[in-house]
Structure 1
Amino acid sequence: MKKTSSHTILHSFLYGSTSVLFALDLFFLVRALVTGALFPVVPIFAGVCIAGGLLFILHAEGKSREYDRREHRSLSRVATQLEQPLQALEEDIEYLIKHADSLPAEVRLKLKRMNTKTRVLLENIRDVFLMFRAQEGVVAHDQKKYDACVLVEDAIARVKPLASARNVEIIRKAHCVDAPVKLDKGLFLIALTHILENGILYTITPGLVNIAIVRGKSFVRIIVQDRGIGVKQEDMHAIFDPFMRGKHANQYDPDGIGVGLTLSRLLIQEFNGKLNWHQRSESSGLEFEIRLPLAK
């Protein structure tokens, strides 16, 4: 079942209440004109104009959101259509690499680079597709009970090759033995991996990324700290905006497209969780905190 967003509920409430206000103002305006009581005409007419203006704004905003939804669906279809041929291309390249012993070393190196870039492109397309789906409704259809401590270990294992290549050490601190949470494992690992990769990529090397797990009475917190370049004041408001990247992002993450943190927050919200962040201090990195309810 598709869930109704809080924005949709608020929009419906405002539209309904403004329509009632407009109808009442119009009724009293007609009544004042018919009875000849002209004194209240001006304020009532002003109320009609204000209510009518609000209705127009809400209607235009609704149309704009509907257009955005259509654009999202179109882009989602494009992403899906791109994914299949790219996966076939990746499989072909992997096959060539396995049977490339007779090829010159330079050619084998280029094939490996092509394979890496194809995999990055596939992951970017997957993230865009998931982001649009999450913005439209529910994407987590396979939620089960898992141990958050074990999931963190799985995510660390995923990013270890990147951390090693970037000369970044991951330090894990666990303050819990068992922290059951209900979520979609695959989607949660995508979200946490993005947060960890973000810390690794933007940490000044050689560096450290700390990850801590703290279990409370009703929530478990997963805290990721990096020692990176931080976020400039003018970019702070847009950290979760899709396709938004900082001024120096290409220097640290040339393959990124600016959807990782957006997608992470959307997915974590699907598990009734929250993703918060703050800058630890000027130019000394960020701290992200995932807060998830414990499953009963």
Structure 2
Amino acid sequence: MDSIWLVLGALALGAFLGAGFLLLLYMAERRGARAAQVIAPTIPDGVEQVLDVLESAGIVIDPSNNVLKASPGALALGLVRGSSLVHPELVELAASVRRSGETIADEFTLARGPYGDSTMRLQVLVARLGTRFVLLLAEDRTESYRLDEVRRDFVANISHELKTPIASVSLLAEALDMAADEPDQVRRFAGRLSTEAARLAHITSEVIELSRLQARDALRPDVLVSIDEVVAEAVDQNRIVATAKHVEIGVRASSKAQVYGDRALLVVAVHNLLSNAIAYSPEASRVGIGVKVDGDTVSIAVTDQGIGIQREDLDRVFERFFRVDQARSRNTGGSGLGLSIVKHTVQNHGGDVRVWSTPDRGSTFTIRLPLAEPPAASVPDAAGEPSASKPTSEPRQARAAHPVR
């Protein structure tokens, strides 16, 4: 009889312990669900929609400095990579807002991209968003700070460069007047006058192109551009000139790489490199252009077998109006603005341009650009579906490219 009671007691104790264990599991599950609801980042209603259409940079950061949402402008400016802020200055600013609870506005000079010395000047506003998040808004003010300096330098350069063709036109006009009774002389002077007028018009068109490039609204950074298509269009623009000179253009561009930027400006930049390569190459030679993706970078390299560049001139080839060979540049119609346009275009896209050259053996110009960062995935919404920023891939109406040699 005692053994029966012992068995029954053991069974009762086991049932009690089992029920208690199940109760503990249930409570733990409920607590875990509530904790998950608290921990799971939920961006306040309406913020994601605003960031999707925001032209300037807008970023939402969680307490661990993870980027939960970024506008197309923030991605295009290179402020976000993966789910993190690229610049430590912005991370520290967000930390200051968390500590003080006060909204902070400041200006920063930050690297425009991972390459070269190009910088951007940002007006940044950081504020709390709810109790857990931080909202960062940034506006690119680079051009407004640089405009005065650029204008001063540009006016000085163009005034100097225009003196020669204007003086030539004036002298030729006087010569025509004096040779009015000599038809052969009139034809000869008229031909030279047409050449100088064409040169003057060419310089003017390049000045307009460079001025537009340096204007505040020259670049819409939230448009996705296919690098392979840029290269194909630039090659097509140079086919006729290359064929006339019996120069073969070899193309290797199947990268499927995309960058944020302005398609028309990128086509002009690549066109300029190809045009220079053909102009300074001997007849029956070869010019090559290739596209390569390496990590977060896409490179466009243009190689020729031309006259090359002296070592002491390598650092100056991207200056406005600088010509490696003054006499040859006049014969080929060059103004010395083509490579300056390339440099400004590439810098405005967060990249850099480099040159390698050996005299009498040829040159290689390489453009490097950061690949477009895909939109960061957002926090799942109430239906469990993730939402993401969708930068527009519709390019603006293409603008006419001005050939620059």
* Alignment TM-score > 0.5, same fold: yes
2:370 paired with 1:293: yes
Contact 2:280/2:307, CA 8 A, preserved across alignment: yes
Deviations along 1:121-153, whole A, 9 cap, x unmatched?
555323212324545655223751121111111
Match of 1:271 in 2: 349
Q: Of residues 261, 272, 276 in structure 2, which corresponds to 1:198?
A: 276
Unaligned residue ranges in structure 1 (runs of 5+): 11-64, 77-106
2:312 paired with 1:234: yes
**Counterpart amino acid of residue 163 in structure 1:** A
Match of 2:219 in 1: 140
Distance (Å, rounded) in 2 between the aligned partners of 1:287 and 1:220: 16
| Cα pair distance change 1:274/1:71, threshold 3 Å | closer
Contact 1:202/1:228, CA 8 A, preserved across alignment: yes
TM-score, with length taken from structure 2: 0.44
2:300 paired with 1:218: no
2:338 paired with 1:260: yes
Distance (Å, rounded) in 2 between the aligned partners of 1:263 and 1:251: 16
Distance (Å, rounded) in 2 between the aligned partners of 1:272 and 1:9: 9
Report the 3-state secondary structure (helix = DSSP H, G, I; strand = E; otherwise coil) of the residue aligned with 2:323.
coil
Q: Of residues 207, 228, 234 in structure 2, which corresponds to 1:128?
A: 207
2:249 paired with 1:170: yes
Report the 3-state secondary structure (helix = DSSP H, G, I; strand = E; otherwise coil) of the residue aligned with 2:204.
helix
| Cα pair distance change 1:239/1:272, threshold 3 Å | same
**Counterpart amino acid of residue 233 in structure 1:** R
Higher strand share: 2
Report the 3-state secondary structure (helix = DSSP H, G, I; strand = E; otherwise coil) of the residue aligned with 1:220.
strand
Tell which deviates more after alignment, 191-200 or 215-224. Answer: 215-224
TM-score, with length taken from structure 1: 0.58
Q: How does 1:85-124 map to 2 (within 5 A)?
A: 122-124=201-203
Distance (Å, rounded) in 2 between the aligned partners of 1:74 and 1:231: 26
Unaligned residue ranges in structure 2 (runs of 5+): 1-55, 57-76, 78-107, 111-116, 121-146, 159-186, 375-405
Q: CA deviation at 1:240?
A: 0.8
| Cα pair distance change 1:239/1:218, threshold 3 Å | same
| Cα pair distance change 1:142/1:224, threshold 3 Å | same
Q: CA deviation at 1:249?
A: 4.8
| Cα pair distance change 1:148/1:119, threshold 3 Å | farther
Q: CA deviation at 1:234?
A: 3.2
Q: CA deviation at 1:182?
A: 1.4
Deviations along 1:240-283, whole A, 9 cap, x unmatched?
1111112355268531110000111101111112111111x332
**Counterpart amino acid of residue 354 in structure 2:** N
Report the 3-state secondary structure (helix = DSSP H, G, I; strand = E; otherwise coil) of the residue aligned with 2:232.
helix
Distance (Å, rounded) in 2 between the aligned partners of 1:67 and 1:292: 26
Distance (Å, rounded) in 2 between the aligned partners of 1:132 and 1:211: 27
Deviations along 1:100-131, whole A, 9 cap, x unmatched?
xxxxxxx9xx99xx6x9977755532321232
Q: CA deviation at 1:70?
A: 4.4
Q: Of residues 334, 352, 361 in structure 2, which corresponds to 1:284?
A: 361
**Counterpart amino acid of residue 333 in structure 2:** D
Q: CA deviation at 1:224?
A: 0.5
Q: CA deviation at 1:181?
A: 1.5
Q: Percent identity?
A: 26
| Cα pair distance change 1:166/1:117, threshold 3 Å | farther
Contact 2:228/2:254, CA 8 A, preserved across alignment: no
Distance (Å, rounded) in 1 between the aligned partners of 2:322 and 2:225: 32
Distance (Å, rounded) in 2 between the aligned partners of 1:233 and 1:192: 23
| Cα pair distance change 1:223/1:258, threshold 3 Å | same
Higher helix share: 1
Distance (Å, rounded) in 1 between the aligned partners of 2:370 and 2:350: 7
Q: How does 1:173-188 map to 2 (within 5 A)?
A: 173-174=252-253, 176=255, 178-188=256-266
Distance (Å, rounded) in 2 between the aligned partners of 1:5 and 1:200: 39
Match of 2:151 in 1: 69
| Cα pair distance change 1:68/1:154, threshold 3 Å | closer
Contact 1:202/1:252, CA 8 A, preserved across alignment: no
Contact 1:209/1:226, CA 8 A, preserved across alignment: yes
Figure out how many residues of one structure are paired with residues of the other and give that number: 206
Distance (Å, rounded) in 2 between the aligned partners of 1:121 and 1:161: 23
